[in-house]
Amino acid sequence: MIYMDNAATTPVHPKVLEAMMPYFNVRYANPSGNYEFARKIRKDVENARSIIAGTLGARPEEIYFTSGGTEGDNWAVKAAAFDRGHGHIISTNVEHKAMLNTLEWIESQGFEKDLAEADGSGIVAPDKIRRLIKNDTFMVSVMAANNEIGTIMPLKDIARSNNLRKRGIIFHTDAVQAYGHIYLNVNDLGVDMLSASAHKFRGPKGAGFIYIRRDTIETSLIHGGSQEMGMRAGTENVASIIGMAKAAQICMETINERRMKETQLRNYMIDRILRTFKGTVLNGTLDNRLPNNINIYFPGINGYSLVSALDRFGVCASAGSACSSASSKPSHVLKAIGLTDQQARSCVRFTLCEDTTAQDVDYLIETLYKIIKV
């Protein structure tokens, strides 16, 4: 099997699994317990919080553990809205469904929303946000990098050129696809909240975190006990928290090497596909793109059929976001950058990792040639 769907999920790193194992049957105490066994586990959880905070330039007390990116996006939007009670939110038309569907629900509760439009490369320019800001705008949410076409958003420019913090506007970013793959510093970017998911950077599924700058929101996500500084009740998923921190640590230690390798292999693969298959087009920009993302338009080919055919040859790819794979609707992201419904249905996403090789890419090209028969 050749796995080229790392944007959907990644395999747990062996060192991550090793770090997690003791917390299932040896270091299994509830960290809220009132005895030494539990206090040791609490210390491990807080150490994990510090590790993750350090990767972002944040304070440990600004990191809250969640079940993943969807929960983080929901928390950010709903807490900001409930704290304010009324007003206006700005996001973009290329966000993940976790954000777009949450905004639809918020709108049904009496809030207003506007979606800034991306250009043909999938980038939302700062002035697109500026034109939408109103007197009662209390939040702007722009993803760090797109999950389908890999476009990296100009977060720093959006925050600074629009004076979001001075205006008292909360700036949130869905960094699920970006975290662990590119450098992110919350202070440099000017964001107040950032959500991430462990399984996108070789951690376990069902674990994530949200960075919330101190004094940004007051509304708790889940009410109950005093876990997560009283903001998210419920016994912590200790093994997964430890695994996520280990994965984050490994990512930061290897990020330069991985980015260089993945970028070179990505460009090699894009070049081969565009030269081999007539009329193919790269969706998104090459220059401002995640190092492992490739999204190709194959004219006259049904993307879902092509993914199924690749599967028969042992290649895993996708025709869009994993969260929308059961939907027959064309990708809202591809339509947002100007593709027609038919064109959007003719696209396939390949996402690489540090274990992908040039031989894997060559096999993919040969397999595509057999299927498409150009």
Q: Is there a catalytic annotation at residue 323?
A: yes
Residue 374: per-residue pLDDT: 54
Q: Are 48 and 242 in contact (CB under 8 A)?
A: yes
Residue 221: per-residue pLDDT: 84
User: H or E stretch including 296?
Assistant: strand 293-297
Six-digit token string for 188: 């440099």
> pTM for this structure?
0.96
For the stretch 97-135, pLDDT in tens is 999 999 999 999 999 999 999 999 999 999 999 999 999
Strand 170-174 with 137-141, pairing: parallel
Residue 310: per-residue pLDDT: 98
**What are the structural domains of the chain?**
2-9+255-372 (3.90.1150.10), 14-250 (3.40.640.10)
Model confidence at 322, pLDDT cuts 50, 70, 90, reads: low
| Average pLDDT value over all residues in the chain | 96
Centroid of chain to Cα 116: 19
For the stretch 41-96, pLDDT in tens is 999 999 999 999 999 999 999 999 999 999 999 999 999 999 999 999 999 999 99
User: Which is higher by pLDDT, 359 or 320?
Assistant: 359
Centroid of chain to Cα 362: 28
Model confidence at 373, pLDDT cuts 50, 70, 90, reads: confident
User: What mean pLDDT do residues 289-303 have?
Assistant: 97
- The number of beta carbons lying within 10 Å of the beta carbon of residue 227 is 18
Question: Distance (Å, rounded) from C-alpha 194 to C-alpha 354?
Answer: 25
In this predicted structure, the answer to whether residue 209 has a pLDDT above a threshold of 80 is yes
Q: Are 159 and 193 in contact (CB under 8 A)?
A: no
Q: Are 72 and 66 in contact (CB under 8 A)?
A: yes
Select which of 316, 323, 347, 353 is catalytic: 323
In this predicted structure, the answer to whether residue 321 has a pLDDT above a threshold of 90 is no
Model confidence at 273, pLDDT cuts 50, 70, 90, reads: very high
In this predicted structure, the answer to whether residue 298 has a pLDDT above a threshold of 80 is yes
Q: Give alpha helix (H) positions in the chain.
A: 14-20, 22-25, 36-56, 69-84, 97-108, 126-130, 155-161, 186-189, 238-276, 303-312, 332-336, 341-344, 358-372
For the stretch 164-196, pLDDT in tens is 999 999 999 999 999 999 999 999 999 999 999
User: What mean pLDDT do residues 230-253 have?
Assistant: 97
Model confidence at 329, pLDDT cuts 50, 70, 90, reads: confident
